[in-house]
A and B are shown apart, each in its own frame.
Chain A
Amino acid sequence: MTLRWDVLAAILGMALATYLCRAGGYAILRASRPPRFVQAMLNHLPGCIFVAFLAPALARGGPDIWVASLVTLAVQVAFRKLALAILAGVGSVWALQALA
């Protein structure tokens, strides 16, 4: 049960940043309506964040990662169950590695 100071500092930074997003949004957006462009950007941000995060990881990965990614997407599209999609993806990587 260790707690390192640098880890604690990172955690406090994360917590503070996240609370600012939760509460700051209401505090600011209730006082003034942001420009249309900013509102439109906020709508697009969630998807773009995940894509930006995934793209380098997928570009680096090999065929087993690409196949498993397609399986994950297909299962999520078909069943809309997060747990099932994650399991199918991990299972695919495991099966492909075992076959190789």
Chain B
Amino acid sequence: METFSRAGWWRGCRAALAITLGLSPFGLVIGVISASKGLSLLEALLMSGLTFAGSAQLVVLQLWAEPAPILAATLACLVVNLRMAPMGAALAPALDRIRGWRLWFTLAWLVDNGFAMFVAEMRAGRRDVAFVLGAGMGMWVNWMTMVTLGHSLGAAVELRPGHPIFFAAVATMLAILVPIWRGRGDLAPWAASALAAVAAHGLGLGAPWPVLVGAFTGAGLGAWQDLRREARA
């Protein structure tokens, strides 16, 4: 069986192309908000190209300040992207078959959609890791194109604060929450997360602390619930 082939890379590329329409709005939003926060096109592209993680960038841009919040931005990426850590582990059956630069370079292109599609590949019995690289690169090209378009749009039209377009950031996150919802068991952790974040914000804690406090309070409660349920079963 192929472990890292050109054909696998192309399969990944084509899979990324197939979801272009679904991916594009996110990049557009990031581009528009980057421009509104005063980032140059070069800075917006460097951030998007090197980080290549939409939700983390969205969080960072919301807490953006002058001068650039170096520590807060780094911390926010660490926390928001922590969800990628178990993804790499879940792909171990395929990743264990490659070594060296192929392994560590491919991991740099791991994104939510690429992960989900490769899980489907693995279930179908294909373990060609080049698929992850191809899918990642295909989505990266879309990502960079859309950020460029969004940034040009945001720079061309002077957008006042409070313009409806800025609701796009909130709308994006709300929409992302829908497929993440797994049922009633999420209710208590999510409520705890919201309360803790609002409380931290009310205490005057600046970014990224409300997000950190809320996320870990909620996830901690969720984990405690899960373990208690397992102990009973």
Contacts and interface: CB of A to CB of B under 8 A. Distances in A.
Interface of A: 1-4, 6-30, 36-59, 61, 65, 68-69, 72-73, 75-77, 80-83, 85-91, 93-94, 97
B227 A36 contact: yes
Interface in B46-89: 46-47, 50-53, 55-57, 59-60, 62, 67-71, 73-89
B149 interface: no
B24 A26 contact: no
Given A22-B84, A46-B83, A17 B74 contact: yes
Interface residues of B, number: 96
A54 B107 contact: no
The SS class assigned to the B binding surface is helix
B213 interface: yes
A85 B173 contact: no
B46 A44 contact: no
Given A17-B77, A55-B194, A57-B170, A50 B176 contact: yes
B175 interface: yes
Contact of A82 (B26, B81, B186, B189): B26
Interface of B: 21-22, 24-26, 29, 39-43, 46-47, 50-53, 55-57, 59-60, 62, 67-71, 73-89, 91-92, 95-96, 104, 107-108, 110, 164-165, 167-168, 170-181, 186, 189-190, 193-198, 201, 210-220, 222-224, 226-227, 230
18 contacts: A3-B43, A18-B52, A21-B83, A26-B89, A37-B224, A44-B189, A49-B55, A51-B190, A51-B193, A51-B218, A52-B214, A53-B211, A72-B174, A82-B172, A83-B21, A86-B171, A89-B170, A90-B164
Q: Which of B69, B171, B172 has the most CB of A within 10 A?
A: B171
Given A36-B227, A50-B173, A86-B171, A97 B178 contact: no
Contacts of B41: 1
Contacts of A11: 43, 46-47, 50-51, 73
A73 B105 CA distance: 37
The SS class assigned to the A binding surface is helix
Given A50-B55, A83-B21, A1 B193 contact: no
B85 to A, nearest CB: 3
Nearest to B72: A10
A47 B47 contact: no
B60 to A, nearest CB: 6
A3 B196 CA distance: 37
A15 B213 CA distance: 23
Contact of A4 (B51, B57, B68, B211): B68
**7 tightest Cβ-Cβ pairs between the two chains A and B:** A52-B214, A25-B85, A26-B88, A89-B171, A13-B74, A48-B218, A44-B222
Nearest to A45: B219
A41 B215 CA distance: 10
A85 B69 CA distance: 30
